[in-house]
Structure 1
Amino acid sequence: MLRSIRTTIMPTLLRWRGRLIPESRGLGWTPIFLLGYLVFLFLPAVLAWFGETNRSGIPMAPLWPTLISIAVFLPIYFAGYRYNGIKAIACMLAIAAIGYAMLPSNVFANTYLIYAAGFAATCGGALWKRIGWLSAILAGLLLEIVLLRYPLFVFLVTTIVAVAVFFGNHHFIENRRKRAELQLSHDEIRRLAALAERERIGRDLHDLLGHTLSLVALKSELAGKLIDRDPQAARRELNEVTRVARDALTQVRSAVTGIRAAGLAAELASARLLLETGGVDFRYELAPVVLPPEVETVLAMTLREAVTNIERHARARHAQAQLLSDVDEVVLRVEDDGRGGAISPGNGLCGMRERIEALGGRLRVDSTPGRGTCIHAHLPLRNQSQPGDQDEATPRMTLPPAAA
């Protein structure tokens, strides 16, 4: 039964929703659910059925104008989600006009003005202009209430709800805009990082191979000239060419190892953008330590996997990463305050553990229900050389001091 719903009914519902509300709005089913507030239009009939109309002073509203108003309202309501600019403003004013027209026969027609206030926050333009539209809608309501001699509390309640809806929608739009800007910043940082890496690779390969290939060409040419006059000298030159080529191959392999190494500092910056885009406050602290490329790569990939799990599953509000180091060992600690609980060892966690153990390290995961998850990655530094002894062909990275 559930499978049939997922495979047949849900796709049909999603297609209809896409026709009514553009997916680019990112609102999902919310506009459909908001139509539930139309039930307030039928409260006068409900109160009359219970005999409360005379005691409350609320006039009885005939049912057929209410039904006609809903039939007119619905197409305008869904059109308001498809349009921008002047057309969106026209939809907002049309909904407000339906409320004004219905108010003499149904005091709960102020519901339409609440919908109009919600659209006022999304019609575009500066905030003061949208507040101006809200004020105009409420001013028209106040004037009609005075003319109809309705209780003033109708206007006050409508104003409170309309202002709350207006600023709720405004806050939603601002958050969506900021998330989009953060995503663009994230993408731009990745693009610039990739561009800088390509330029570095080009410079390294040019410096590495330019001199070597020039030397190979010169020695090969010299061997060709000596092969008839002095075969022994020619053989020495060819042996030298072989040695230079092997040295170049070794240097290229070392350079490629450095190219493939993921940078921990860059991964931390990427993690911060990813988590803060999702509303998670992320802080990190790094001990100043020189890491071998293979160790840095494993730590960066561990951090990436841990941050991905926080973003997808943890439902955390805060997260932090620390890199601690002593003479023999470096420790990466990633912690969040999410839901925690039992962790199923999936591909990500298993791959993380395998990479760490391949370098002689160990991985510990502590997860307490309701108190978050903490990952400790321990890696030995027994093979680390001193900064002054580093091979120029093997790039290493010095991490910055503590950052937040």
Structure 2
Amino acid sequence: MTARLSTDTRMSPSWFKPTPDSLWNRFRERPRLRVASLVNLVWAVYVFGDVIFANELGPWWGLATGLSFPIFLLLYAAAYTRPLRHVSWYAGGVALLAYATLHFNHSAGGTYVIYACAMLGFEGAPKKCIAGMVAVIGGFVGVAYFLMGWPIPVIATLSFIALSVGTINVVYRFNAQRDVELKLSHDEVRRLAATAERERIGRDLHDLLGHTLSLITLKLELSRRLFDRDADAARREIEEAEQVARHALAEVRSAVTGIRASGVVAELASARLLLNTSMIDFVYRADVPELPPRVDNELALVLREAVTNIHRHAGASFAEVTVSMDDRACTMTIVDNGRGFAGSEGNGICGMRERVRALGGTLAFASDAAKGTVVNIQVPLLPADRRPALSDIRADKGLPVSGDNRLAS
């Protein structure tokens, strides 16, 4: 018996601890919404509205208010901290509290009805939420009109407010869910793009190395058999195997360069997904030039930071990116029509400058409150950035062009 009592004592405080599936924990990554849930209690001041609006307070006003208000606060807290699937029960409790209090404290009864409808918007399908609100408002209308004889305009006004507040909660909740789904969709697109890139790399490496490695294996086996009988022939086979290996190495380097050169292109596609979900029209040219690897990787990160700034801070409705390259330099321009740039530069912009400076380039801002922001980046190209064609590599090595299988002879 003692053990059971001690267990119940330990469980009692835990009832007030937010459960993992509570609305409070759902706002774990969004602390502003937690603060908003507490600020919403400000409207509970209307529970004491009869002190100002009523001509006189009834003899039971103080008792009804003193008993109902703590119960309301407990039910409101439970709606946020207990499992979200039970929120309709707490809303129903607040509604019953409203009906019971309506005769003694008119303001408290009306306020509790509004809070009950607001709580019903926390969980469930829209039809279920609206049906619950209509039921709560129907009970309020029955008590206020048929039992207490309230004027119809007052009843209609309170009913409209309660239904509007509850509906706004439903709309806000489903908009938040759509935002989460869009983010998940964005992440899924990134994952699928990465998976497709890995598959492409696998296919390219198989096409490049499968036949070549088989040929090297055959030549090395042949040279081993000829080693004791014909040393010259074995040496020729080993030399040819070495030549084939160098040819394969050149092709692998070329393929890797092509893989790395997709950084800015992939980042532009990702930027379109991000900005379009924020209702920002994003434009860029599809024929982006193939950039040198050292430039491509860094410019992709700079572009990502710039797009993030547009998404979070610019308040823009349009953005455009252009990328061009000639024999001397690579240029990237990022334009938006947002509120412009003001104040000191944050860590993001400082990071952009450092990346461009590491490439030996320049980054310039042109910002106007009425015209938005223009970011211009110029990176000079080095002689090593001009990648020779694969045919030139093979010619330098004295190898046949790609697709010629005469290496096997």
Mapped pair 1:142 → 2:141:
yes
User: Which residue of structure 2 lines up, in the alignment, with residue 284 of structure 1?
Assistant: 283
Residue 37 of structure 2 aligns with an amino acid whose one-letter code is P
Distance 2:204 2:323 in 1: 31
- The CA RMSD measured in Å over matched residues stands at 3.3
* Counterpart contact for 1:21–1:78, Cα < 8 Å: no
Aligned residues: 365
- Deviation for aligned residue 1:338: 4.0
Say if 1:292 and 1:158 are closer, same or farther in 2 by CA, change over 3 A.
Answer: same
Matched, 1:332 2:346: no
* Worse overlay, 186-195 or 284-293: 284-293
Partner SS for 1:342: coil
Moved more, 321-330 or 183-192: 321-330
Q: Report the Cα distance in structure 2 between the residues aligned to 1:144 and 1:368, rounded to whole angstroms.
A: 60
Q: Is 1:175 aligned with 2:181? A: no
CA shift digits 1:312-363 (9 cap, x unpaired): 5x252434122254755654322341452134263x5455445545656432
Partner of 1:88: 87
Give the superposition deviation at 1:216. 1.4
Residue 227 of structure 1 and its aligned partner are, at CA, apart by 2.8
Q: Deviations over 1:364-389 (max 9, x none)?
A: 22234576432122346797989xx9
Distance 1:378 1:18 in 2: 53
Alignment of 1:162-201 (within 5 A): 162-201=162-201
Output the CA distance in 2 between the equivalents of 1:356 and 1:320. Answer: 21
Partner residue, 2:24: 22
1:29 counterpart SS class:
helix
**Within-5 A mapping of 1:162-241:** 162-241=162-241
Q: Does 1:43 align with 2:49?
A: yes
Whether the 8 Å contact between 1:262 and 1:301 is mirrored in structure 2 is no
Give the TM-score of the pair, scaled to structure 2: 0.77
Task: Please say if residues 342 and 367 of structure 1, whose CA atoms lie closer than 8 Å, have aligned partners that are also in contact.
Answer: no
Closer, same or farther: CA 152–59 of 1 in aligned 2, 3 Å: farther
* Aligned residues with identical type, % of pairs: 39
Change (3 A) 1:188 1:40: same
Cα distance change, pair 184–391 in 1 and its aligned pair in 2 (3 A): same
Preserved CA contact (<8 Å) 1:96 1:137: yes
Counterpart-to-counterpart distance in 2, 1:357 and 1:60: 78
Show the 5 A alignment for 1:3-402.
18=18, 22-25=24-27, 26=30, 27-45=33-51, 47=52, 53-54=54-55, 62-81=61-80, 82-85=82-85, 87-109=86-108, 110-125=110-125, 127-146=126-145, 147-277=147-277, 279=278, 281-286=280-285, 288-294=287-293, 295-312=295-312, 314-325=313-324, 331-336=331-336, 337-338=338-339, 340-344=341-345, 346=347, 348-353=348-353, 355-356=355-356, 361-368=361-368, 372-379=372-379, 391=390
Q: What is the CA-CA distance between 1:66 and the residue it aligns to?
A: 0.7
Change (3 A) 1:254 1:60: farther
Distance 1:271 1:306, change over 3 A: same
In structure 2, the residue corresponding to 1:321 is in which secondary structure? strand
User: Which stretch of the first structure deviates more once superposed, 139-148 or 196-205?
Assistant: 139-148
Counterpart CA distance in 2 for 1:315 and 1:28 is 26
Alpha-carbon distance, 1:293 to partner: 4.5
Equivalent residue of 2:287, what SS? coil
Larger relative CO (CA 8 A, sep 6+): 1 or 2?
A: 1
TM-score with structure 1 setting the length: 0.78
Say if 2:261 and 2:290, in contact at 8 Å, map to a contact too.
Answer: no
Q: Give the distance between the partners of 2:391 and 2:64, measured in 1 at CA.
A: 84
Q: 2:165, 2:61 → 1: CA distance?
A: 28
Asked if the contact 1:53/1:60 (under 8 Å) is kept, the reply is no
Gaps of 5+ in 2: 1-15, 394-409
CA distance in 2, matches of 1:343, 1:369: 15
Residues 232 and 258 of structure 1: is their aligned pair in 2 closer, same or farther, counting only changes over 3 Å?
same
Q: Deviation of residue 191 (structure 1)?
A: 1.6
